[in-house]
Structure 1
Amino acid sequence: MNDGQDTGSGKSIESADQRLVDIVLDERSMVRRNPDVEQERTIAIFDLLEQNFFSPAGDFTGPYRLKLGIAENRLQFAISNEKEEHLRTIELSLMPFRRIVRDYFSVCETYFEAIKVASPAKIEAIDMGRRGLHNDGSDLLRERLAEKIEIDFETARRLFTLICVLHIRG
């Protein structure tokens, strides 16, 4: 439902600007993480910047920069434009995410242990559960951001990965 001009790629100029061009994690309260977690963070940010849809509610023009952080038990989305001019900050309670993040971490731990010794069938079953929880977290994020920021499912998945990274405290 976009009225912008076609850019030749099937996307309108308007929708082409509804994206993130930079994302930073506010790591003030975080401690050093293990290499596996750092690799997940790096991949999520790379994939997110390669392809995403991010459209904050309001009269804003993208593309956007995002600083994602946690403060006072709230998830914070600090949104600025390409020139780094602050547009708005959206805060969400972390409470709805706590159980799913905890369950996701538990399944991930089981998965990383299983890949060392388990059969391929068992590893695949655990991975299916892990992906299911990741999808649930992504759906929850989209639901909680509704009417604040419109994002597509793949953008939500990558943002959920980064939210999980922010939960790791050592």
Structure 2
Amino acid sequence: MSYILFCLVIVGGLYALYRWWCARIERELAEGAQFEYERLKSAEPEFVEGFTAETFASIYTRAERPRGPGYCLAVIATFLLGSPLMMGLLAGGDWAMHRFGFIPNPSEVVATVMLDDSGQTRIVTDIPPEALQYYVHDLGGFYYFFGMLLFWVAIVGFYMRRYHQRRPGLLRDEVIRAR
């Protein structure tokens, strides 16, 4: 529970910083839209004909707003808040694989290792079979590591795909599209 609260505090702080940054960017975009509208109105009046300053500002903002930080925040929040669920799913999968015999129990693996007359393994002579059983059991961490890595790659891939699918065009393209 404390992990979730810690993550909520971290994500909440990052979100507050993001909102502060967005407010600053919105002011800069409003100023840039006004300047660009005036420039285009004097240089290419037929291009912005039929657009009010407010309509042009909304098109300008959509085309020029940086979107990367919002997606980065979404990736971080999804990873932090989804990790406990993913660890639970991995633990459940590990349990099911052992329960239904897809993965041998560590005692079965240790029993197949060749032992000498003193009960030691021939490969690792300093480890008794009981310690080797714990070692083999801990090799499951390998699956947890790659499961979490796959989870992270899936999150980044999902948000990268959304980022590129929702990408607006250049300002000129957006103005033409709005006609």
**TM-score, structure 2 normalization:** 0.29
**TM-score, structure 1 normalization:** 0.30
Tell me which structure has the larger Cα radius of gyration. 2
Q: Kindly indicate which of the two structures has a greater share of residues assigned to helix.
A: 2
Q: Kindly indicate which of the two structures has a greater share of residues assigned to strand.
A: 1
